[in-house]
Structure 1
Amino acid sequence: MEEKVFTRPEALADVETHYCPGCQHGIIHRLVAEVIDELGIRKKAIGVVPVGCSVLADQYFNIDAINAAHGRAPAVATGIKRVHPDKVVFTYQGDGDIAAIGMAETVHAAARGEQITIVFVNNAIYGMTGGQMAPTTLVGQVTATSPYGRQLASAGSPVRLSEMLAILDGAKYIARVSVNDSGNIIRAKAAIKAAFEVQLRGEGFAMVEVLSTCPTNWGKSPLEARKWLTENMLPQFPLGIYKNAAGGEVK
């Protein structure tokens, strides 16, 4: 009798998603769901989803979840965690949501050491609203609002949120990972698990930044987009653990 060794995580809903072909939100959703299952926290997990491509993510997880106003997910998560300290509260946010309109909420949640976990998906562009320049858009990158490429003189350099938050005392675990290949996907899951474990131990704020593709708004095929991420985003956004205050091993 054959043994089934690869199944849908219990925390991941058995539904079709709305994401574009080649979008890597589906990979990241699965990693989050696998971590929730492995930690045995599905019945006490609460997700906070943003305005953006992942606005419907509350429908894709078999957990309690709520939508937040644009950029306010860390503030909403803070309120939920303070009222329900026994729950495991996390946000799932894109670069426009977390690093533009939500920058203040993110920075101050980290500074206060709020007991929440953030999964930050960085694809260097606004996805849902039509491919405008985002805080993380690379210099020279063409978008709907930077048709000649992002200009350093007028728009500055892309925001490196992981490096920014790592210097704050309340931030206990900050990592940047990628899902551009199988090895990095494995490392991404380990980092997401470590971030949830920080909350379970009551240590403070944790965030994992995940580099991801947006083939539709980049104007590339899924394979071309993955190559572009590898060649352009990885040098600009170096992978690694930027802070691990507990000093525990990330497996």
Structure 2
Amino acid sequence: MRSVFEYTKGMRETELHYCPGCTHGIAHRLIMEILEERGDLGNCIAVSPVGCSIVAHQYMNVDMLESPHGRAPAVASGIKRVHPDAMVFTYQGDGDLASIGTSEIIHAAERGEKFCTFFINNAIYGMTGGQMAPTTLVGQKATTCIEGRTVAQAGYPLRMSEMIATVEGAVYVERVTLSSPADVRKAKRAIQRAFQVQDKKLGFAFVEILSTCPTNWGLSPTKSMEWLKENMIPYYPVQQFKCPEEVR
């Protein structure tokens, strides 16, 4: 039997460490497939901060750097300015981007930095044990809100795509999900558009990917996908918020 990694040069032939049912692997594969199709595997520099994806460099067959927690956009800004013709992207989770890294991502978008950010939103802190994140839904249980998040105690979950879409320097913003084969195909097209935006030097590109975390949600892989559809998508609607005419 052929290994799944044989079908794309973008993935290293290394066993994934992610939990069963986690969709990080799908997101990795989509990004790498697109870079291979574009012929950019050897012309790409990626940045991965603290989180479940901190070991993404073991799987993605491109040059990658690790950054301090939340600081991937700052690191990517410097890389892109030094290597303006390279394809540069950050790969960040919600505990990273929407919490300690909120100011970094907003200001990178405001400056119109010409790299892509792929934001994995699974509504919880994954790597550190399932604490409440800024994206945790109202009523959702976590280790730091065992009876469920409340508005009175923690406020409302952040909708990062809606926020970034208001920033002028962010020219492409879309939220996708990996809930079905059809959704995966749509997610791939969104990632393609993000790289096209960067290739044309139009501005900042942001793709939010709704994902599952079966382990910290306390659900099976199948049930976690159902939970995402029934709970996350109503609050985080899957849609395109901004897209320049050049990549439609």
Structure 2 contact 74–108 (Cα < 8 Å) conserved: yes
SS across alignment from 1:47: strand
Counterparts of 1:93-112 in structure 2, within 5 Å, are 93-112=92-111
Shift of 1:171: 0.4
Q: Which amino acid aligns with 2:111?
A: R
> Once the two structures are superposed, what CA deviation does each residue of 1:47-95 show, in whole Å capped at 9, x if it has no partner?
1011000000011111110000000000000000011111110000000
State the secondary structure of the residue aligned to 2:171. strand
1:137 corresponds to:
136
Cα distance in 2 for residues equivalent to 1:85 and 1:115: 8
SS of aligned partner of 1:91 = strand
Structure 1 equivalent of residue 151 of structure 2: 152
**CA separation in 2, counterparts of 1:170 and 1:104?**
14
Aligned residue number for residue 38 of structure 1: 37
| Equivalent position of 1:89 in the other structure | 88
Amino acid at match of 1:221: S
Identify the residue that residue 241 of structure 1 maps to in structure 2.
Answer: 240
Distance 1:196 1:9 in 2: 18
In 1, Cα distance between equivalents of 2:5 and 2:17: 23
Amino acid at match of 2:119: F
Distance 2:175 2:162 in 1: 9
Alignment of 1:15-26 (within 5 A): 15-26=14-25
4+ long deviations beyond 3 Å? none
Other-structure match for 2:211: 212
Deviating more after overlay: 8-17 vs 182-191: 8-17
SS at match of 2:183: helix
Runs (5+) with no aligned partner, structure 2: none
Report the residue type matching 2:58 in the other structure: Q
- Is 1:141–1:150's contact at 8 Å kept on the other side of the alignment? yes
8 Å CA contact retained: 2:5, 2:11: no
Mapped to 1, the partners of 2:77 and 2:125 lie a distance apart of 25
Aligned residues: 246
More helix by share: 2
Match status 1:13 vs 2:21:
no
* Contact 1:172–1:246 (8 Å) recurs in 2: no
Per-residue CA distance 1:108-139 (angstroms, 9 max, x = gap): 00000001100000000000000000010000
SS of 1:56's equivalent? Answer: helix
Name the SS of the counterpart of 2:139 in structure 1: coil
| 1:23 alignment partner AA | C
How far residue 247 of structure 1 moved from its aligned partner, in angstroms, is: 5.4
Question: Deviation digits for residues 113-167 of structure 1, max 9, x if unmatched?
Answer: 0011000000000000000000100000000001010001121111000000011
SS at structure 1 position matched to 2:54: coil
Residue 167 (1) aligns with residue 166 (2): yes
Q: Which amino acid aligns with 2:182?
A: G
SS of the residue corresponding to residue 142 of structure 2 reads coil
For 2:48 and 2:93, the matched residues in 1 are separated by 10
Aligned to 1:175, the other structure's residue is in SS state strand
Distance in 2, Cα, partners of 1:73 & 1:7: 30
Partner of residue 66, structure 1: 65
Paired position in structure 1 for 2:119: 120
**Residue aligned with 2:53, SS:** coil
How far, CA to CA, are the matches of 1:72 and 1:19 in structure 2?
23
